[in-house]
Homo-oligomer: A and B are copies of this chain.
């Protein structure tokens, strides 16, 4: 059994083992992410899981209303996935990122080698259980829960970590591995370098005489104001990423930040990306480069929402040159960043970031900020964990 077990279970194409052998792994890196449906048949189950996550969505009569909403939404969402090739590419990219990361880690950090990666998606296979079982089979000793969201939110990394710890308990693996977590990296140098590289590539898509006219529109997934108002660290960490990328680019162009992908009737963080595009058009901007800043690989929000929906909107409104910076995906600079992050984390001996134990000011979830069997003193022994 190796790190690909979850993928195989999900019916995704088998991928060659990352290491030459299926031998023992010393350090297992759990790559936490949302996940997405690999096939059209997986769309409805994916949405059902998402709408059942009470750490993110709270509905009255959720067990009935959640599936009701999903059944109404699923055909539309399935159509969007059909338009981008029949499924989400997130597993493929995550596996490529994992392979690139551990190849580098085995070279850079022989003391913690051999390394293995284990994908743990939140709402589709491979899930936390899949990752944990593969890790046990591979003989992992030291485990790192590595969020693939650069900026921390309780709606993303928070939910994934809580689910991981619940899965550890369900599988009775509380003492199986020594854990630490890499819970946020909004201005990590390697990450910022890689994003800046995508922006430069995106700018190359404009003709040289137009390049100076481009407006850089950073777009992050939005968040319900309920999270923002209780102090979720996501908005300031997004702002930090954006500013740092602009600094890395020498502030070469004007830039804006907007938030995309709002769903449902509640208030979300604004301004919305679509609305901002409309406003830019009314002021006769003709050249816009959208930069996804909160996700690290292509997904429905880049391939469909930006590349199709917003692109069509921009064209209709007279924005003649509308482009998107490529996602990080398998970019070597990003693989370097992932390996660099883990390497620095392992050599630091830290169990988590300083910020992690501090729950959101208005946290209403007692499960938050747990960590089982951490590499250093458990959270809760000091006031930091309060």
Q: Could you say which residues of chain B place their CB within 8 Å of the CB of A186? A: 243
Q: Is A224 an interface residue (CB 8 A)?
A: no
Contact code string A229-247 (vs B, CB < 8 Å = 1, else 0): 1110101111110111011
Q: Kindly state whether residue A284 has any CB partner on chain B within 8 Å.
A: yes
A237: chain B residues at CB < 8 Å are 239, 243
Q: A186-B243, A362-B271 are in contact. Are A355 and B255 (CB under 8 A)?
A: yes
Q: Which residue of B is nearest A249, CB measured? A: B354
Question: How large, as a class, is the contact surface on chain A?
Answer: 35 or more
Set of chain B residues within 8 Å of A358, measured between Cβ atoms:
215, 254-256
Which residues in B have their C-beta under 8 angstroms from that of A236? Answer: 235-236, 238-240, 242-243, 257
A68 interface residue (CB < 8 Å to B): no
Within 8 Å of chain B (Cβ to Cβ): is A275?
A: yes
- Stretch from A95-103, A196-204, A378-386 that touches the partner: A378-386
User: Closest CB-CB distance, A344 to chain B, in whole Å?
Assistant: 12
Least CB distance, A251 to chain B, in whole angstroms? 5
CB of A213 closer than 8 Å to a CB of B: yes
Known: A215-B358, A285-B386, A287-B383. A244 touches B353 (CB 8 A): no
Contact assessment for B362 and A252 in the assembled complex, using a CB-CB cutoff below 8 Å: no
User: Is the pair A271, B229 in contact by a Cβ cutoff of 8 Å?
Assistant: yes
- Binary interface encoding of chain A residues 111-129 relative to chain B, with 1 for a CB under 8 A from any of its CBs, else 0: 0000000000000000000
Write the nearest CB–CB distance from A213 to chain B, whole angstroms.
4
In the complex, A276 has a CB within 8 A of chain B: yes
Q: Return chain B residues, CB-CB under 8 Å to A276.
A: 231, 361
Q: Which of A247-287 contact B (CB under 8 A)?
A: 247, 251-258, 270-271, 275-276, 279-280, 283-287
The interface residues of chain B lying within 8 Å CB-to-CB of A361 are 256, 258, 271, 275-276, 279-280
Q: With a CB–CB cut-off of 8 A, which chain B residues contact A230? A: 271
Residues of B within 8 A of A359 (CB): 283
**Candidates B228, B255, B285, B357; contact of A354 at CB < 8 Å:** B255
Q: Please give me the residue from chain B that is nearest to A280 by CB atom.
A: B361
Smallest CB gap from A253: residue in B = B354
Write out the residue numbers on chain B whose beta carbons fall within 8 Å of the beta carbon of A362.
271, 275, 279
A187 contacts chain B at the CB level, 8 A cutoff: yes
Closest B residue, CB atoms, query A284: B386
Give me 8 other A-B pairs in contact (C-beta within 8 A), A229-B271, A236-B257, A239-B243 excluded.
A187-B244, A212-B382, A239-B240, A240-B243, A243-B244, A251-B354, A254-B357, A283-B386
Show the binding face of A for B, using Cβ within 8 Å.
Answer: 186-187, 212-213, 215, 228-231, 233, 235-240, 242-244, 246-247, 251-258, 270-271, 275-276, 279-280, 283-287, 353-359, 361-363, 382-384, 386
- Leading 3 A-B pairs by shortest Cβ distance: A236-B239, A239-B239, A240-B243
